[in-house]
Amino acid sequence: MTSFQDFGLADPISRALKEENYLTPTPIQAQTVPLAMTGRDVVGIAQTGTGKTAAFALPILHRILENRVRVQPKSCRVLVLSPTRELSGQILDSFNAYGRHIRLTSTLAIGGVPMGRQVRSLMQGVEVLVATPGRLLDLVQSNGLKLGQVEFLVLDEADRMLDMGFINDIRKIVGKLPIKRQTLFFSATMPKDIAELAEAMLRDPARVAVTPVASTVERITQRIIQVDFAAKAGILAQLLKQEPVDRALIFTRTKHGADKVVKGLAKVGIRADAIHGNKSQNNRERALAAFRSGEIRTLVATDIAARGIDVDGISHVFNFDLPNVPETYVHRIGRTARAGAEGVAISLIAGAEEMGYLRDIERLIRVALPREDRRTPGTRDTAPAPSQKPSQNRGARSAPRGHAANGHSHGGRSHEQSPGSKGPRRPRRGGGNNAASQPTRHESPRPAQGGNSEGIQGVAFLHRESRPNTQPNRTHRPQR
């Protein structure tokens, strides 16, 4: 699949794509769009940044156009469930952008804002409703919304929804939907509970997947520092003070660990905030907004909470703990060096277990990472040096090589970035060319743990186009 033309999307949609400067489908789009256009259920493993929103929005818009029917009052034809308000706003923006020539009606139903306006927006019915699960149920329970006309259901970032405790809400919602519908289900990881949820919701789904790659990694200076467990916090603080940090994202494996790091940094005068599943949505959004605006330069996050964070100008990623899934390392460090920029990723490694994780990572990215040893003498035998050598030893920095990500750089600030933000503005996206990316297809959902590093191929991460409008109550109803 080399161009969007090959999909045979309805003309108004193709026109909108041209205007968006989308030239080449991304791997997840190349796999998903043709399947979904035939009406098949799809389960996809893909991260934010791979173009998955268009992967589900385009075929749905095409199918809506093929059979334009009147939407009943208080109803919708397309229901998209997403974990957060921010992501919901972005998804709605995307639908409206791709549907700009088809007089699409759409609105948001998200928590944290008064329900009255959402009830009014839904009064006449809309074609596309993007919602967070809790608010959607509230609307249904208060008779503001009926789900009997839903023909298309999208579940986006399913793993994050589970992490945020939405599983029961999702089950309830799905129980109220017509059996005859098309369901598109996306998750960045596919552990057992997500696979079971997908199994219960989908009918004979096609499976698609993309995995991240070395190409993202190549512009990132990677440092591995061997430390004693007890010294991690101190060394992190030192590094944050010494390094020319613009914005730093620090990853920990656990929520508790994230809080501990924030407290430790506060003790030495470094202001940081944490985002993870135990924080309220308001809390998380406030922390993210402060990080975007440059009010805080250091954000500590768990992997799931960090997903979907789309912040420009992250100069440094720190791995306070190494992840036990090697692909996660690539996701993490891919937060820096976006849009062609260079970045630094520093991992603190203590003990044999983390050293094992490091070897898995090196095998995946096919780079041997030089170690800096800051352990106190006498403890050094606890974390042996690597015994196997990955195929290449290119040192800490790999030379940039035809970055796929460059083709996807784009303009504008992220939604919540304040005008005073220090983050570099990205150049306007000049037409995606994802030539360096290769789709990977998995015939069955891939377990999140113990990821197999063989056969991983390239996927460039795209950067979300900022569209100006993220007000919580946004109904799109063109004049008829």
Give the footprint of ligand AMP on this chain (CB under 6 A).
22, 24-26, 29, 48-54, 408, 410, 429, 432, 462-465
User: Residue 191 CB, nearest distance to ligand AMP (Å)?
Assistant: 21
Q: Residues 157, 158, 160, 164: is their CA dihedral positive or negative?
A: positive
User: Residue 48 CB, nearest distance to ligand AMP (Å)?
Assistant: 5
**Distance separating alpha carbons of residues 117 and 50, to the nearest angstrom:** 33
User: Residue 51 CB, nearest distance to ligand AMP (Å)?
Assistant: 3
CB closer to ligand AMP out of 169 and 303: 303
**Distance separating alpha carbons of residues 114 and 129, to the nearest angstrom:** 17
Q: Which region holds residue 389: left if phi is over 0, alpha if psi is between -120 and 50, else beta?
A: beta
CB closer to ligand AMP out of 433 and 453: 433
Q: At what angle do helices 11-19 and 52-66 cross, to 10 degrees?
A: 150
User: Residue 356 CB, nearest distance to ligand AMP (Å)?
Assistant: 32
Q: Which amino acid is at 402?
A: G
- Cβ atoms of 276 and 255 closer than 8 Å: yes
CB closer to ligand AMP out of 239 and 330: 330
User: Residue 323 CB, nearest distance to ligand AMP (Å)?
Assistant: 21
Residue nearest to ligand AMP (CB): 432
Q: How far is CA 11 from CA 2, 3, 31, 71, in A?
A: 18, 14, 20, 22
Tell me the backbone φ, ψ of residue 466, rounded to 5 degrees: -85, 125
CB closer to ligand AMP out of 84 and 252: 84
CB closer to ligand AMP out of 21 and 475: 21
**25: helix, coil or strand?**
coil
Q: Which amino acid is at 67?
A: N
**Distance separating alpha carbons of residues 210 and 147, to the nearest angstrom:** 32
Q: Which residues are within 8 A (CB) of 230 and not within 5 positions of it... i.e. 6 or more apart?
A: none
> Comparing C-alpha atoms, which of 207, 138, 186, 99 is closest to residue 477?
99
CB closer to ligand AMP out of 63 and 408: 408
> Comparing C-alpha atoms, which of 158, 200, 171 is closest to residue 448?
158
Task: Indicate the DSSP class of residue 332.
Answer: H
CB closer to ligand AMP out of 264 and 308: 308
User: Residue 134 CB, nearest distance to ligand AMP (Å)?
Assistant: 22
User: Residue 90 CB, nearest distance to ligand AMP (Å)?
Assistant: 7
DSSP states along 103-152:
T--EEEE-TTS-HHHHHHHHTT-EEEEEE-HHHHHHHHHTTS---TT--E
User: Residue 316 CB, nearest distance to ligand AMP (Å)?
Assistant: 22
**Distance separating alpha carbons of residues 346 and 457, to the nearest angstrom:** 24
According to DSSP, the residues that pair with 275 across neighbouring strands are: 301
CB closer to ligand AMP out of 232 and 403: 403
DSSP states along 157-215:
SHHHHHHTT-HHHHHHHHHTS-SS-EEEEEES---HHHHHHHHHH-SS-EEEE----HH
User: Residue 467 CB, nearest distance to ligand AMP (Å)?
Assistant: 9
User: Residue 156 CB, nearest distance to ligand AMP (Å)?
Assistant: 9
CB closer to ligand AMP out of 219 and 463: 463
User: Residue 102 CB, nearest distance to ligand AMP (Å)?
Assistant: 18
CB closer to ligand AMP out of 25 and 133: 25
Angle at CA of residue 317, ends 274 and 457, nearest 5°: 120
Identify the helix (H) or strand (E) that includes residue 305. Answer: helix 303-306
User: Residue 23 CB, nearest distance to ligand AMP (Å)?
Assistant: 6
**Distance separating alpha carbons of residues 258 and 295, to the nearest angstrom:** 19
Greatest pairwise CA separation for the chain in angstroms = 77
CB closer to ligand AMP out of 50 and 319: 50
CB closer to ligand AMP out of 26 and 32: 26
